[in-house]
């Protein structure tokens, strides 16, 4: 698999509109894509949306947030990974892990002062929890109330997320 991240703008919703997720899982990734892009446009600057591309297919989407755009649960001078969605037709093929690793690698290169990355996972979303753990994120022990209920806060040193990189970094 050779995949890469392609940075997209806040008005580029159409680029990732074809990323289809199961309706019962869509809320876990931030809701429908229109709501996510509305939030990107209305939130503080310093959000970085990316399309995950394999060949000529867009297979996923992820947002990295920093500074004032980070969620309130973010600690220190970290960046957060948010809104990960992998097209349901391409799930369980390593694309989620690739998206997290490539986003971490982008952070390491673009923001060398950032030492760790955080994310939150709904306590009912076990596949996302296991994906985060497989990528190197570990539960911090903190639970916060989120949009859909309790969220486990996860964190990892940036080096851990970047290690074992087996995907392409062409867009970096």
Where residue 171 falls among pLDDT bands split at 50, 70, 90? very low
Helix-then-strand count for the chain, H and E: 6, 7
Residue 12 pLDDT > 70? yes
In the chain, the domains with their CATH numbers are 3-162 (3.40.630.30)
The closest alpha carbon to 142, from 153, 156, 155, 126, belongs to 153
Biggest alpha carbon–alpha carbon distance for the chain? 40
Taking the C-alpha atoms of residue 118 and residue 132, their distance in angstroms, rounded to an integer, is: 10
The model's pTM:
0.90
Rounded to the nearest 10 degrees, the angle between the axes of helix 95-110 and helix 126-135 is: 50
Token match 């497989």: residue? Answer: 134
């Amino acid at each position: 698999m050779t995949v890469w991240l392609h940075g997209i703008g806040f008005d580029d919703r159409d680029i990732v509109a074809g990323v289809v997720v199961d309706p019962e899982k869509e809320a876990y990734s931030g809701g429908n894509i229109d709501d996510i892009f509305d939030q990107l446009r209305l939130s503080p600057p310093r959000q970085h949306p990316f399309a995950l591309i394999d060949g000529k297919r867009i297979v996923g989407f992820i947002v990295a947030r920093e500074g004032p755009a980070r969620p309130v649960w973010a600690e220190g001078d970290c960046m957060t990974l948010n809104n990960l969605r992998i097209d349901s037709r391409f799930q369980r093929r390593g694309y989620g892990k690739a998206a997290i690793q490539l986003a971490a690698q982008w952070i390491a290169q673009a923001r060398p002062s950032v030492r760790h990355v955080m994310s939150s996972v709904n306590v009912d979303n076990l596949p996302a929890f296991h994906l985060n753990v497989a990528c190197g994120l570990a539960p911090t022990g903190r639970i916060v109330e989120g949009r859909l209920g309790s969220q486990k806060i996860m964190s990892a040193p940036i080096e851990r997320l970047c290690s074992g990189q087996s995907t392409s970094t062409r867009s970096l």
